[in-house]
Amino acid sequence: MSLSVISALLYALATFLLARGVRADSPGRHWLWAAIPAIALHAAVHWQGWQFTGTTDLHFFAALSLVGLGMATLTVAGTATGTARALGVVVFPLAAVMLLAYGVYGHTIRPEPLRWQLLMHAWLALLSYATLSLAAVLAIFLWAQERALRRRDFHAWLRALPPLTELETLLFRTITVGFVLLTGTLLTGALYVENLLAQHIVHHTVLSILSWLAFGALLLGRWRRGWRGALAVRWTLTAMALLALALFGSKYVLELVLGRTG
């Protein structure tokens, strides 16, 4: 059995243990015994791929899987103490699906390895995407929690989430970290990425900047006007949609439709 399948099964086990704990209102930490090995094996799959290709594999499915790995790692690091523990119920299945897609598609060998400056740019991009993806999940949780409270529809999963104000604070902290990482991504891209037109990534750059502006406007609105609730959720999901189109929309078209891997 391949490492990808074993990791996916462990992700599924961690999800089951978390979901059962949420329903019983006593999640404990036993789910970590499945989540941590799943993450370790997930990372090992990519390490094997890099050993096979001789360079960092960042094609569409590899990048997608790395984002899933980042989301799962951040989830374990941030929720092992119980804060927003329901996050893993969403993140772990996503990470498993992304990893299996990478395992099915296989490795892609680049014509030449990336320079370290471009690798730094790529890693910042993936880390910012993973962080802001978690923010998008938190925004959906915030919307669902507010909706349930308005309807006085108190489900067990509400007890797995922090209080509304704490969840909102966690959302904006996550967005702030992701915004800083996205800023670093854009700066390194401006410094080290050459020949935007030749590489057909102008649309990627424009969408990334629009996403950065949207996240920046949200943080400014939070600071100056106290934006919160449904307004914050809409801005977060809109900015995340732009970022998803920037990174994976462009990679999908260039690599899977047009067949460009260089």
List Cβ neighbours of 261 (8 Å cut-off, separation of 6 or more): 59, 108, 110, 111, 255
* pLDDT tens by residue, 16-68: 988 887 766 665 678 889 999 999 999 999 988 777 766 667 788 888 999 99
Name the amino acid, one letter, at 132: L
Question: Could you give the angle at which helices 229-244 and 164-192 cross, rounded to 10 degrees?
Answer: 30
Do 207 and 242 touch, CB atoms closer than 8 A? yes
Work out the pLDDT band at 197, boundaries 50, 70, 90. Answer: very low
The dihedral region occupied by 188, where left means phi > 0, alpha psi between -120 and 50, and beta the remainder, is alpha
* pLDDT tens by residue, 97-152: 999 999 887 666 655 666 767 788 888 999 999 999 999 999 999 998 888 877 77
pLDDT top residue among 119 and 237: 237
Dihedral, 25, 26, 32, 35 alpha carbons, nearest 10: -30
Domain ranges in the chain?
1-113, 115-262
Predicted TM-score of the model (pTM): 0.88
Return the pLDDT at 198: 45
Do 14 and 88 touch, CB atoms closer than 8 A? yes
Return the pLDDT at 83: 57
Distance in angstroms between the alpha carbons of the first and the last residue of the chain: 32
